[in-house]
């Protein structure tokens, strides 16, 4: 795949490569694509939450924090 980037974006990527943050331009662009995909998945998850809230599918504070505490305890091996 051959892509063309604006000069400011090319310069930013080249600077990241020259400082050693990425081993190559391809690695830097791949990380950018990975972040874009991750951002889109997050956007979709947030929209699901908004839709659920609009439909009245909400959980109260005590229920949510109780579940979070249980998950943290399980992760800690308690």
Q: Say if 52 falls within a structural domain.
A: yes
The helix (H) or strand (E) run that includes residue 66 is helix 61-75
Q: Say if 39 falls within a structural domain.
A: yes
Q: Say if 2 falls within a structural domain.
A: no
Contacts of 3 (CB under 8 A, 6+ apart): 29
Q: Say if 1 falls within a structural domain.
A: no
Q: Say if 46 falls within a structural domain.
A: yes
Overall average pLDDT of the 52-72 stretch: 94
Closest to 29 (Cα-Cα) out of 43, 16, 19, 42: 16
- pTM tops 0.75, yes or no: no
Question: pLDDT tens-digit profile of 1-47?
Answer: 889 999 999 999 999 999 999 999 999 999 999 999 999 999 999 99
> 27 is in which domain, residue-wise?
7-75
Cβ atoms < 10 Å from Cβ of 15: 11
Q: Say if 50 falls within a structural domain.
A: yes
Q: Say if 65 falls within a structural domain.
A: yes
Q: Say if 20 falls within a structural domain.
A: yes
Total number of domains constituting the chain: 1
């Amino acid at each position: 795949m051959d892509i063309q980037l604006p000069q400011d974006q090319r310069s930013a990527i080249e600077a990241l490569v020259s400082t050693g943050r990425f081993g190559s331009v391809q690695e830097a662009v791949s990380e950018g694509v990975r972040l874009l995909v991750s951002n889109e998945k997050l956007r979709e998850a947030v929209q699901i939450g908004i839709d659920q809230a609009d439909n009245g599918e909400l959980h109260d504070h005590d229920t949510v924090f109780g579940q979070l505490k249980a998950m943290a305890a399980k992760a800690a091996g308690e």
